[in-house]
Structure 1
């Protein structure tokens, strides 16, 4: 090969190669667009005709029609679970008001029944979650985990003490892993809107801790993630590498903010003052930091807490 031809080839190769000291151009990842959690509800829709026709024996079609007008996600769940033999055991049937008030427990428990059905969930391995009538997250990987009682040292107050006694200090319940944490939070986030949209019919104390349940179980999830990172590095790496779980955690955080805001005008009947105090701790810097690290998203802390930045 002639010297001229060699020089020509070298010139071409140099022209095609990146310049010395520079890297090949790689497009920067686009920042994710802001996302706000919302869902349809119409808490002022007229249900007076349903109240007038209520007999107790027609509780199921009545609550389905009630939620069809006021909260479609509740209607969807009530239709999906219509054949559950235990459904009516959670419903008070002596009056329309009693039925409405019992919906916190009934919808909470039926959410468990749907989420934890063996066709959708394998205990400690993967879970499913009814979120809205249009969205159900299926088979979210969990990779087992560790007993949730391990978060107790991070709770420095007594704001959630009554629930801590049930879910964390109890010998059996305290041994539940991430499955228990996510299941209780998701059920709480169905029980809260279930009574928020019918709050004018609530006359007693049957729904008086609905806001506390949501706020407390979000607290448990955030603390669980913190303990996972600090004490269980291998497990932390596993779950942080699961996009479906990361998306689910973000959704549940924003969803909690959404329904706590929607229910705030009725906090006297739907929760104790501790619900707002627990919520304030959920927005402490260390909790927002673990949420951001796990999900890769920042959330707003202004009047639109149901949104990312």
Structure 2
């Protein structure tokens, strides 16, 4: 693919990466729908953990054990993905080994692409029928129904700015990529949402531009999902009815919305090296009334617009 806690949606059940949030649930009202407790997306990371010894010992030949140990200390989800994909023959196409700094910077691409490799493995994904998504060390979604869909290029008329123009050219205006359906939207979103933390937790070693659009990728792929849902409802009502009746798909969409907010906030202090100003502009558009309405209608959850954006609201 080109690049540039589980929540049960109809109950208050929370597990894995989605954990109880800081907001209190409202008391149930007799004869009213059950009020769900707020949930938040979170996952372990320790970006301040010392890895100076790994840097000092780094060589071209020990990059895989270095990668695994680096993420063991700073981002266990990255370690577990690296272990799961350790035998993939394509790693070396993505990993730069000329220096530790180049290595750290290349993790955005390497982890992004290895997420694709895991998600799209034929044992887990049948294109346009069902998909899989590596979310984090505790959660991997499988057998998420897709029911086909429509070409993602149909969302283009809803993009009236140039903030995501470079990615739009690749994923929406390209004749092949633009024809991809919901499968393509979700695959790119999930890869972008592993590529961003991969470099956020090693940001002090990033000296070049190899990860300079990590935040833009995350924000843009959420844009694509929200707009895809809007077009589904407005232009493809039969398809909208199908996907709205799939709890696993609705759950995944909500998780990715909250997860994007989580990692955009975590990476915000390093925005100058991990993104452009357009990342925040795209994010602002993602919280427009129309986009919030569609994610809330699709998932059945209320989301926060100001603070605690990685959490649902009571």
Calculate the TM-score normalised by the size of structure 2. Answer: 0.90
State yes or no: 1:155 paired with 2:159: yes
State yes or no: 1:102 paired with 2:106: yes
* C-alpha deviation, 1:27, in angstroms: 5.4
CA-to-partner distance for each residue in 1:56-85, whole Å, 9 max, x for gaps? 110000010000000000000000000000
SS in structure 2 at match of 1:36: strand
Structure 1, unmatched stretches of 5+, are 1-25
- Distance in 2 (CA, whole Å) between partners of 1:41 and 1:133 is 11
Structure 1 segments, 4+ long, off by >2 Å, are 26-29
- Distance in 2 (CA, whole Å) between partners of 1:164 and 1:55 is 38
- Distance in 2 (CA, whole Å) between partners of 1:288 and 1:117 is 32
CA-to-partner distance for each residue in 1:157-179, whole Å, 9 max, x for gaps? 01000000000000000000000
Q: Tell me which residue corresponds to 1:185.
A: 189
- Distance in 1 (CA, whole Å) between partners of 2:52 and 2:298 is 46
Q: Tell me which residue corresponds to 2:207.
A: 203
Q: Tell me which residue corresponds to 1:164.
A: 168
Q: 2:253 aligns with which of 249, 256, 267?
A: 249
Q: Tell me which residue corresponds to 1:77.
A: 81
State yes or no: 1:277 paired with 2:284: no
* C-alpha deviation, 1:95, in angstroms: 0.8
SS in structure 2 at match of 1:102: helix
Q: Tell me which residue corresponds to 1:57.
A: 61
Alignment root-mean-square deviation, CA: 0.8
Q: Tell me which residue corresponds to 2:309.
A: 305
* C-alpha deviation, 1:239, in angstroms: 0.1
State yes or no: 1:121 paired with 2:125: yes
* C-alpha deviation, 1:303, in angstroms: 2.0
State yes or no: 1:219 paired with 2:246: no
- Distance in 1 (CA, whole Å) between partners of 2:285 and 2:162 is 12
Structure having the larger proportion of residues in helix: 1
- Distance in 2 (CA, whole Å) between partners of 1:119 and 1:298 is 34
State yes or no: 1:234 paired with 2:234: no
- Distance in 2 (CA, whole Å) between partners of 1:36 and 1:301 is 13
Q: Tell me which residue corresponds to 1:259.
A: 263
Q: Tell me which residue corresponds to 2:40.
A: 36
- Distance in 1 (CA, whole Å) between partners of 2:120 and 2:32 is 40
Q: Which has the higher contact order (CA 8 A, sep 6+)?
A: 2
- Distance in 2 (CA, whole Å) between partners of 1:238 and 1:44 is 45
Computing the radius of gyration over CA atoms, which structure comes out larger, 1 or 2?
1
Q: 2:198 aligns with which of 194, 199, 207?
A: 194
- Distance in 1 (CA, whole Å) between partners of 2:271 and 2:227 is 25
CA-to-partner distance for each residue in 1:3-62, whole Å, 9 max, x for gaps? xxxxxxxxxxxxxxxxxxxxxxx9543111100000000000000000011011100000
Q: How many residues align?
A: 284
Structure 2, unmatched stretches of 5+, are 1-29
